[in-house]
Amino acid sequence: MQFTAVLTLACFLSLPVYVISTSGFAASCSNIQLSGSVLDATCVTDSGSTTATAIDLNNCVANYDGNLACAPSGSYSSSCDDCSLTDTTYLLCSCSGSSDGGDQPSGYNLDSCLGNNDGALTC
């Protein structure tokens, strides 16, 4: 009985373990690109393979008075323009909401808002 338990444990410990975070995606995704409001990436699945995935950031990011923030159904792109990615995960836009009525630069680290759930980007 003990031998079986030890053998089972030894086999389990020799298997590769993939930890996929549901908060933060950069560590398990690559080829991260922004096209309009859609973020594309190649992410690792629970089994260790990779898959192409995409998410519309309007479902995850909002503009609150010129400041980007993580929010479900945020629709940030309706009030932000000229968005780009810097440092792979940092969303930088020009957003309406400044006190003078104009646009102001606003940025948000998407790694604190998005996750990788079995190879799929999620809010």
% of the chain exceeding 90 in pLDDT? 73
Instruction: Let me know: does 44 contact 119? Beta carbons within 8 Å.
Output: yes
Query: What domains appear along the chain, each with residue ranges and CATH number?
Result: 20-122 (2.30.60.10)
Residue 9 has pLDDT above 70, yes or no: no
Provide the mean pLDDT of the chain: 84
Q: Which residues pair with 122 in a beta bridge?
A: 115
Which tens digits make up the pLDDT trace of 48-67?
Answer: 999 999 999 999 999 999 99
Q: Poorest-confidence range of 37-41, 49-53, 98-102, 105-109?
A: 98-102
Residue 17 has pLDDT above 60, yes or no: no
